[in-house]
Amino acid sequence: MKNRYRVEIYDEVKQNDLTLFSDDGIDKDHLTELVFSNLNQFSGNVRAFVYDKQKKKKTVALFLPMATVNKYKPKQLTKIELGLI
């Protein structure tokens, strides 16, 4: 079945929602990697889950609180750090 798995990553802001599709199964480690690779798009509590369209149920879920998101989110450099001032 093509695009059997749907991965949804979202936070409180609707514009930040991210939906990915996959033919292969996605385990907890792969879902964690997907979330952390797209972490700079989110702010606040992040939720992610994998939905199996064939079995019609969620298979894996991940919840990251705001403190964790802010800790691992890439830091933006200031003008001083960039040497612009």
Question: What does the pLDDT read at residue 77?
Answer: 66
Write out pLDDT tens, residues 9-66.
Answer: 999 888 889 999 999 889 999 999 999 888 888 888 999 999 999 999 999 999 999 8
Give the helix ranges, DSSP H, for the chain.
Answer: 28-37, 66-72, 79-82
The amino acid at 65:
P
User: Do residues 67 and 17 touch, judged by C-beta distance below 8 A?
Assistant: no
End-to-end CA distance of the chain: 56
Domain containing residue 32: 5-82
Indicate the number of domains in the chain.
Answer: 1
Q: In DSSP terms, which residues pair with 68 in a beta bridge?
A: none
Cβ atoms within 10 Å, residue 11: 20
Which residue carries 């199996």 as its tokens? 52
Question: Residue 68 pLDDT > 70, yes or no?
Answer: yes
